[in-house]
Amino acid sequence: MVSSSCLAEDHEPVSDIQQGPYWSIQLENDFLGSRDDRFYSHGMEVSYLRPSTPDDRLPELAQHMPFFKIGDVHAVQYTLGQNIFTPEDTETATLVKDDRPYAGWLYASVELLARIVEEPSYRVVNMFGITVGIVGPSSHADDMQKGIHDVIHTDQPQGWDNQLKDEPGVVLTYVRSWQYFHNIPDSMEFDFTPHVVGTLGNIYTYGGGGIMFRWGRGLRNDFAPPNIRPGFPGIPYFKPTTTPNWYLFAGFEAQAIARNIFLDGNSFKESHSVDKKPLVADFQFGFAFHIDSLRIALSNVLRSREFEGQPESTQFGAINISFLLSD
């Protein structure tokens, strides 16, 4: 990992970020991976990113994070999302004690993108965000899943009466990533991006780190496609070009988990819970293509077992569509 002492304080920030806005639609589903309805079953996010500094107290909070300064904020991202978790056996209405709880998470977040350092072969990105939402019946995860099953004509999950109870949630997230570019023959490029991440809250509390590798064309015009957390860092931003760009990507992230409400159960009420594993790892691989003001990314994620007794790893696929709307 790169030492912070290597990050010179006199780097010039990127000045050619498009003024946007950028929109992103992220869909994650186990049907796109394992083709089974279990564990992390479904996630969806809609994000809006615009290069600007918000007129609120979030930048003041962010300045207490390492290397983050109010004047360095270059973009703000707003997100609405919903996640759905189920046990492996969704055909029984009785509580499955040795499997993960039914749970839903409906949330909104705001995230600052800061200190974008740009050099021919080197880039640095800081991200800091706050997420607020609700776990439990008020997340309407049961309605969403049942509605999806109605549309695709599959069996209805029977155990939602056993889901976690209503609980408001707050999560603070901080990410720092370093991106290194290398030219290779035939106008191709290769880069690798180590990152560290920390979250604090009653929904998730964990620390982790990982690395992403990319190979293709036009890597400097792109950061990485978004993912739903916990997951690899990424944002809707990319630099529009008239020449098609594409790349393959693959990465690894490890997380030391202190708190995961979707396994630990409710914080202040009795609820179903399982014994979580303290270390979890994600492996992701995929393909991205962008031209003009549109980027499409497809990926697959393999997540190691998250709780004691989990029979298999979690596997899900992801689709991201990001696009720029010019003012």
Give the C-alpha separation, 130 to 61, whole Å: 10
User: Structure tokens of 157?
Assistant: 């999950």
User: Structure tokens of 24?
Assistant: 């992103």
Q: Which pLDDT score, from 0 to 100, does residue 17 have?
A: 56
Give the C-alpha separation, 144 to 140, whole Å: 6
Q: For 202, phi and psi rounded to 5 degrees?
A: -85, -10
Closest CA to 212 of 201, 223, 228: 223
Task: Determine contact, residues 74/13, Cβ cutoff 8 Å.
Answer: yes
The string of pLDDT tens digits covering residues 183-242 is 988 889 999 999 999 999 999 999 999 999 999 999 998 888 999 999 899 999 898 888
Closest CA to 231 of 134, 314, 108, 116: 314
The string of pLDDT tens digits covering residues 297-313 is 999 999 999 999 999 99
The string of pLDDT tens digits covering residues 130-174 is 999 999 999 999 999 888 877 876 778 889 999 999 999 999 999
Q: For 21, phi and psi rounded to 5 degrees?
A: -85, 160
Chain-wide mean pLDDT for the chain? 87
Could you tell me the pTM of the whole model? Answer: 0.89
Give the C-alpha separation, 259 to 82, whole Å: 19
Beta-carbon count within 10 A of 72 CB:
19
CATH superfamily of 13-324: Outer membrane protein (2.40.128.140)
Tokens 């990424």 belong to residue: 234
Q: Which pLDDT score, from 0 to 100, does residue 34 have?
A: 54
In the predicted structure, residue 41 carries a pLDDT above the cut 50: yes
The domain ranges of the chain are 13-324
